[in-house]
Structure 1
């Protein structure tokens, strides 16, 4: 939010400077257009890059980690076709992960959600609807999305999650205002697998392993078929390289 405020202050200052110059010596209209384009570009880039901390502070990795610990995270579940199979693979390799779940899916597949929790994995809030236009929500609508999912989680586990991951990884001033109320930790990632775009499992694993380092946070999705071969191969690579997979909560607390 600090970066957003600084950018807004600088933009307003430049606009006032242009107005002063325009009234004294006269300037071309394209100077105003250029400032508008620059402002819009910075706002958009800030929305799509959580590591910038533009609108809010987000945890994307832990560079202070001294051991070879990383966190694998899954978005958009629980999924009736793949989540339980993901849990089986994680159990086979004695690996822990963090699942950022959609509230509607929690209500639709409560037994799968409870299986995630029962096996010792961490849970995060990933909004209630994850609808396409969610990033245009008002503060009130964001609060509804977050609280509905919190309630769904609490109903099944008697717990309240402290973790939130924005849908599509996009942050906005309205979301920042809502999270200031709920006081949840925003979780991003340092390694984006693009598993929703790249279909070839080998390419996905190669993309991930090229960026591996202690403290990394990996983004996967437990809603599509390629997650199964990707996860198994990835865990084999991590095992060979002596990496340990931990939950986001554990990675956050390492110093």
Structure 2
């Protein structure tokens, strides 16, 4: 797996080598530009694709899982629509993991408590879910994680160890922050794109086509569209004999501090 530090060292070495060669050969200026462009492209790709683990180790599936087990995860709640999601999960005896925004927990504490009361797992999804989260300083990220963890702990007496970065964006500041807060970064390997695609059938098809034992599905418990997709998905999983488990059960990594 490519890592930020390795790519950075490679690019620095390439620049130094090109500079040294320029004393003996006609090294074109664009050679240096190509190295920089490669570094920039890898940085952008690594930042936006949590599955690469480019900046920080992220858990996106369990490839060793041979049984028909899968984890459904929901981002951006709790939300009034979460109630319908919970109704469906209960109807199909499925467990899920909810990555909750701190400010949303404050708005809907009763729904948050219902998530836990019904045997699901919760994780930290920042306090603000700001569009600028990827530009936050290390300390600002730490503050957001601690603020949301404090809300979770106040309402549940549980200290959450899971963190899913907003938009799945990672960078060196986020990596340093989770090292300080001791969170496990949880990603996914089956992204529904339910916030971008309007056609429910297309969302369902996309998820089904990427289905495999040990996978983690990303949905959002914030729209009726996703609720409708979830019902069809749970029917499909039931027909294929899949068991929907929480992420801690799938990865064998504790969701809360003992």
What's the TM-score once normalised by structure 1's chain length? Answer: 0.96
* Structure-2 residue corresponding to 1:242: 241
Are 2:68 and 2:242, in contact at CA under 8 Å, matched by a contact in 1?
A: yes
Aligned: 1:195 with 2:194: yes
Secondary structure class of the residue paired with 2:128: coil
Aligned: 1:49 with 2:49: yes
Long gaps (5+) in structure 2: 254-258
* Structure-1 residue corresponding to 2:21: 21
* Structure-2 residue corresponding to 1:7: 7
CA distance in structure 2 between the aligned counterparts of 1:147 and 1:122, rounded to whole angstroms:
18
CA distance in structure 1 between the aligned counterparts of 2:71 and 2:141, rounded to whole angstroms:
26
When the two chains are superposed, the root-mean-square deviation of aligned CA atoms in Å is 1.4
How many residues get paired? 253
Secondary structure class of the residue paired with 1:64: coil
Deviation at 1:183, TM superposition (A): 1.2
* Structure-2 residue corresponding to 1:38: 38
Deviation at 1:130, TM superposition (A): 0.6
CA distance in structure 2 between the aligned counterparts of 1:76 and 1:99, rounded to whole angstroms:
8
CA distance in structure 2 between the aligned counterparts of 1:218 and 1:45, rounded to whole angstroms:
21
Question: Any runs of at least 4 consecutive aligned residues in structure 1 with deviations exceeding 4 A, and if so which?
Answer: none
Are 2:100 and 2:123, in contact at CA under 8 Å, matched by a contact in 1?
A: yes
CA distance in structure 2 between the aligned counterparts of 1:162 and 1:210, rounded to whole angstroms:
30
* Structure-2 residue corresponding to 1:220: 219
* Structure-1 residue corresponding to 2:60: 60
* Structure-1 residue corresponding to 2:148: 149
CA distance in structure 2 between the aligned counterparts of 1:186 and 1:67, rounded to whole angstroms:
24
Secondary structure class of the residue paired with 1:5: helix
* Structure-2 residue corresponding to 1:211: 210
Are 1:2 and 1:55, in contact at CA under 8 Å, matched by a contact in 2?
A: no
Deviation at 1:142, TM superposition (A): 0.7
CA distance in structure 1 between the aligned counterparts of 2:2 and 2:30, rounded to whole angstroms:
29
What's the TM-score once normalised by structure 2's chain length? Answer: 0.95
